[in-house]
Amino acid sequence: MTLSALNADVIVDQLNAGEVTATDCVQHFLDRIQVHNAELNAFIRVSESALEQAQAIDQRRKAGESLGCLAGLPIAIKDGICVSGQPTTAGSKMLENFSPPYDATIVERLKSADAIIIGKTNMDEFAMGSSTENSFFGPTNNPWATNRVPGGSSGGSAACVAARLAPVAIGSDTGGSIRQPASFCGITGLKPTYGRVSRYGLIAFASSLDQIGPMTRTAKESALLMSVIAGFDPRDSTSSKEQVSDFLTGLETPLAGLRIGVCRDHLNEGLDVEVKTKINDAISVFKQLGANIEEIELPQTKSAIAAYYIIAPCEASSNLARYDGVRYTFRAQANDLEEMYRNTRGQGFGDEVKQRIMLGTYALSSGYYEAYYLKASKVRRMIKQDYDEAFKKVDLILGPTTPTPAFKLGQHTRDPLAMYLADIYTVSANLAGIPAISVPVEPSSTGLPIGLQLQGRAFEENTLLRAAHQFQNETLWHTASPSEPWRTQS
């Protein structure tokens, strides 16, 4: 069995046992990137030092030195996360030549665990999008059907894991940007509790919503990565001091007595018929595993998309004000300062980013703040209260990750409302700050992946990972791989 067919935890075991070298492991995945990335465009760039890092780890292992728990494992990083000395663009022309002088905290922790950063993955510009069609570096194609989107904004990370171009990847999630592409690409994606994983070194979209998390084939692999990247960081003012446990502990604990809530409103109007059928089939699996299924209500989630698409653009408008051509960004030619500002932002930002900046600036402007941002903030609080009430009755909440399987490239580019509705089931978790995970269920009749979402109480990722792992022990949908060479679909 080739390395690309193995899960990350198995690869780590083989590396530790000396059955494979870090150099051979990294070379295997670099070779796959060389063969397949031109068609998929999952990676924006590949690390020039990955093999050198692998050789150093092999030498340390041979010398009997102590190594980290991920020693020799290749990991792909979304290009909105800073890696020292490597260009970090957030998928934008504005940062085309930006090379950060420091590592994001999660990159520091991965390097301390002796993981090898193999490359930076494609994304919607500044994480604004649900399809990875908004990247300055061109769209990423879904390996299950190359004329379909991989989801977004972490579409490059999802596609590279699905296509086995890297064992695991790191993404970021502002309104579903880990879970939605995980659903479209048939992998596992975890959005941790807000504050559980440091945001230091993440290029901000919406600071009160952004969260970094793992994108893997299995829940067990996500638990392995979370054990490395989670924990308090004094450099992040929103980082939580909540105690971090071993996320691998308890994965095998049976689900007998676990209370899982299902909101029937999420399984009705607007949901693809096949998605509904597969989610109901998955509910039956959880029943067989001993979980108790209960109906719940989340009345305010119907307003989540509206609230999200006011709050997120408002925060983006503030965060992206720093990109003006003065210091470290792209700078357009101009005759005076005002013209430089205007030309730089006009040429450096793509259409979707400019649209959201304008929406956010308008909603924050005098005379409109109370009508829009303040009202959206009140709705956000009500959504959080709905979850608080639901979690008094149940331990987890189950539903679809996305309303449809992956849609075609270009299908929604002229219909922003249809594009935004792709996040209808995911944005609530970001607004409430709770953890959520997407795992594959039985695919559609056309072979396109479908995802199931589980949401949990704040800082109870262990329960999410346990339930997802037990489901994956009982099913095989997470083991499916897209065919090579990649196919298209009518």
Which residues form the catalytic set?
78, 153, 177
- Angle at CA 143, nearest 5°, toward 138 and 145? 95
**Residues facing 465 on adjacent strands:** none
Cα angle value 206/207/209 (rounded, 5°):
70
Bridge partner residues of 189 (DSSP): 215, 438
- Pairing status of strand 436-441 against strand 450-456: antiparallel
Shortest CA distance to 40 belongs to which of 155, 134, 169? 155
Strands 116-121 and 43-46: antiparallel
Report helix, strand or coil for 430.
helix
DSSP 337: H
Distance, in Å, from the CA atom of 256 to the CA atom of 122, rounded to the nearest integer, reads 41
In whole angstroms, what is the distance from residue 466 CA to residue 96 CA?
A: 40
User: In whole angstroms, what is the distance from residue 344 CA to residue 323 CA?
Assistant: 8
Distance CA(218)–CA(439), nearest Å, equals 8
**3-state helix vs strand vs coil in the chain, percent to 5:** 40, 15, 45
- Would you mind telling me the total number of residues written for the chain in this entry? 490
The alpha-helical segments, DSSP class H, found in 196-303 are 219-229, 273-288
The closest alpha carbon to 247, from 269, 219, 277, belongs to 219
Query: Sign of dihedral through CA atoms 465, 469, 470, 475?
Result: positive
Classified as helix, coil or strand, 13 is helix
Phi-psi label, residue 185: left if phi above 0, alpha if psi -120 to 50, beta otherwise: alpha
Torsions phi, psi of 23, nearest 5? Answer: -65, -45
The enclosing H or E element of 440 equals strand 436-441
Residue 191: CB atoms within 10 A of its CB come to 33
Angle at 260 between CA 255 and CA 264, to 5 degrees: 150
83 and 100 Cβ atoms separated by less than 8 Å: yes
* Beta carbons of 437 and 191 less than 8 angstroms apart: yes
Rg of the chain over all Cα atoms, to the nearest angstrom: 21
